[in-house]
Each structure stands twice: as C-alpha cells, then as structure tokens.
Amino acid sequence: MNNKHTPQVISPDSHSISLSAVSSTAINIVEELKSAGYEAHLVGGCVRDLLLGRTPKDFDIATDAQPEEIKSLFRGCRLIGRRFRLAHVRRNGETIEVATFRAALSDDDDVDDDRIRITDHGQVLRDNVYGSREDDVLRRDFTINALYFDPHDQSVLDFVGGMIDLEKQVIRTIGDPLERLREDPVRMLRAVRFAAKLQFDIDPDVIAATAELAPLLHHVPPARMLDEVIKLFHGGDALRTYDMLREYGLFRYLFPFTEQCLDAIMPNLPSLALANTDSRIKVGKPVIPAFLFACLLWDPLQADVHKLRDGGMDVRRAWSVAASDALRDQAQHVAIPRRFMIVIKDIWALQPQLEQRSPKNINRLLAHKRFRAAYDLLLLRTEVKEISPEIAQWWTQIQEASQQERDSMIRGLRASAPKRGRRRKRKSRAA
C-alpha cells in the first residue's frame, strides 16, 4: 500500500457542510492548535455526518501535536487510553477528543515497546506511533471515516475515495479488508453499526473478510465488547443492527447463549426488546443497558431454570443459581458491571411475582424501584405468547387506577383465589 496520498481538495461550494452546524468549541480548539504552530483538522464521523446532513454526536480533531503537547496547551485537558493515547479537552460543557496523527507500522518497529503491542493473531493492542496526516489516513478503518475538514478555509480533504463511497452508500475499508479487520476485529462490529445507522451496504470484500475473521472477536477483551454492545444497541437502530449481526454470523460472539436459544420463530424476545429500545430512543425516553441485558439473556436463564428444576432443585433456589450462572457465563464474552447485574437480577426476580399476583404483595411490587422495567419485560414476554395477556392487561390497568380502584382490584384477586381448607387448631401441651 502506498503510504503517501495526494488528497482531493473539495472546496466549500462543492460540499454541504455549513460552519453553523459545527461545534464552535471544536472550531476554537482547531484554531488554537494552528495558532500554536500545529496542524489540525476535524476528522472522522463528525465530518461524515455533516456531509450527510446529520447532526454529529460528537466532534473529533486530529493533529500533529503529541498528547503531552496538547495537554500543556489546553486547561482542563486530560490524557486517556493505553491502546490509543488520546487527549480529552473539556470546554463549554463539551468534551472534544483530540488525537495525534498515527503512522503506519513498519517491519523495523519493536512490537514489544511502550508504543506498540501486537498479538500473535495480528491484533493491534497498543498503537502510539505518531506520524503525518498522510500516514494517519491509512490507519483509519473505513473510507467514509477518513475525511478531514478544515474549519478555517472550509475545505474537505479526501485521500482514499471517501466522498465517492458516501455517494455510493457503501462501507469499505481503507486497504486490504483482511489486514484492517485483523488489526482490530471490532471493526467488523463497527462496519455493521455504520451500515445499520446510515442504511449503507457493506462492501462484498469486507463481508468475505468478516466471514473468515469473525472468530477473532473471541480475543477482544470483554470490557471493550461492552462498550461496543452499548454503541450497537443504543444508537436508535438496534433492531436493524441485530438483524445484520445475525446475518453475518457476529451475534454469536456477543451473546453465544442467546444465539443457542434462538429459532426460526419471529419476532423473538430479543428482536422485540431491541425494537422497543429503538422506539424509546426515537421519542427521547431513557434506556438502560441493564434492561437490554435482562431481555437478551432471558431465554438462556429460562433454559437453565428448567434444567435445575428437572434435577430436583426447588424453584426459588433454581432461579437464584440460574441467574448467577447466566450472568457469570455471559460476562466471559461481554463484561457486565456489578451495577448492571444488580438491576438485571431484580428485573428477573420480579417476573414470577408479577405472574403470581399475590394480593398481599401488589402494593409492594408497584412501589418497587425496578417495577417499571420488570413490567416492560412482562409485556415483551406476553408478545411472544409466554404470558397470558390477561396478566399483562391487569398490571397495565392497576397502574392507571385510583387508589380506591386498586383496592377493589386487589380484593377481586382475593375473591378469585382458590379456597384453602381451614386448619385445625392444635391443642396446646398444657391442655
């Protein structure tokens, strides 16, 4: 691969980016870097989204200033990361990520020094070799993410045909897909995320490389996989992302136990949960990763409970053991923080109680801080014919009822409960 490219310079009258759509904070940081004698550009997803008429989620800057130089230049700057050393500049309530241009790795580089670390599988675990802007282009993942924007003259620099791929609506790697995906297997997940978000196609060569290299996802640290899962499923296109992950054989590396429980029946609980997540994001409602995990792992949990019950374990113990096992096993693939586990277990533990509707527990359940999330899971279980619609309808109605109506509904549960035989009083020893 040629490591020097002459960029196509796209003038302001030939692209659709308006400075009014760009963060003024990011523009000021670029100008301050330039005033200090450094080169600096907006780069990556923000440029891509601006060209597509979308509102960027955040703004990233690439520069030839090294991390320590960036830190000395900006108050409120902190350096983060080992894999990629980055600077976060906090200003005006925004956090702008500033990255130093990275160079292509050469055969002369020592892969065990403090700057570089490469595994036997070819995955780059640490990459802090710095270079020029032209070098930096070739270290990026996809052509549509390798466009550079200069707020000063408002030109866009395209080194690798990113503008053409934006027009063609295709996700294509820079250079050999096998090499790019082997360097960082998470790029396979990113390709799906961008394709789902932008409704683009994935280049056939990237699809072929994904089919070959997908097992490398086993070697990605679970903590990093958690970050990717949240990006995949909390971006507003979770259902489309899920369908593509399954189509390209990637979902099994994220949730292998869920994959084993899935069959041809559609919609299934995961797809309904992800569609629900998309709907909530669309209208600005909050979403929590713990609820999504509770839904995605519900089927494996149920399967474990049945096995333990068949082995003679009592129901309460079976639920407790299965919940702990399901979370422990899943955490080997995608990390689940303890704070998530607490919420997930609460949501699961409330399911049998919501089904039973014991009159003495109704008010306690309604006041439970996880009730709403547990109720949402109950509704999804109703949609897949796992729960009687009458139960879900009853819980919906009681939430909307006045206190007097609630008391009446609870009395109705008592009246409809099976009558128990009266216990005979035991005579006291004294008698």
Sheet holding 155-158, edge to edge: 8-10, 155-158, 147-150, 40-43, 60-63, 94-100, 86-91, 77-80
- Which has the closest alpha carbon to 179: 202, 213, 203, 145? 213
> From the CA atom positions of the chain, what is the Rg in Å?
27
Nearest to 268, CA basis, from 381, 390, 379: 381
Which tokens go with 177? 């897909």
8-state DSSP, 56: P
In contact, 178 and 32? CB cutoff 8 Å: no
Chain centroid, CA 99 distance in Å: 22
Judged on CB neighbours under 10 Å (0-12, 13-18, 19+), 156 is buried
**How far does Cα 147 stand from its chain's mean position?**
24
Q: In angstroms, how far apart are the furthest CA atoms of the chain?
A: 104
Strand locations in 137-294, DSSP E? 147-150, 155-158, 170-171, 201-202
Nearest Cα neighbor of 298 from 332, 333, 274 is 274
* C-alpha 100 chain-centroid distance: 26
Q: CB–CB of 115/126 below 8 Å?
A: yes
Pairwise CA distance, residues 354 & 399, whole Å: 13
- Taking CA atoms, 132 is separated from 3, 31, 102, 135, 279, in Å, by 10, 19, 7, 5, 43
The residues assigned a catalytic role are 58, 60, 141
Q: Which sign does the torsion angle of CA 377, 379, 385, 390 carry?
A: positive
Q: Which of 401, 377, 378, 398 is nearest to 388 (CA)?
A: 378
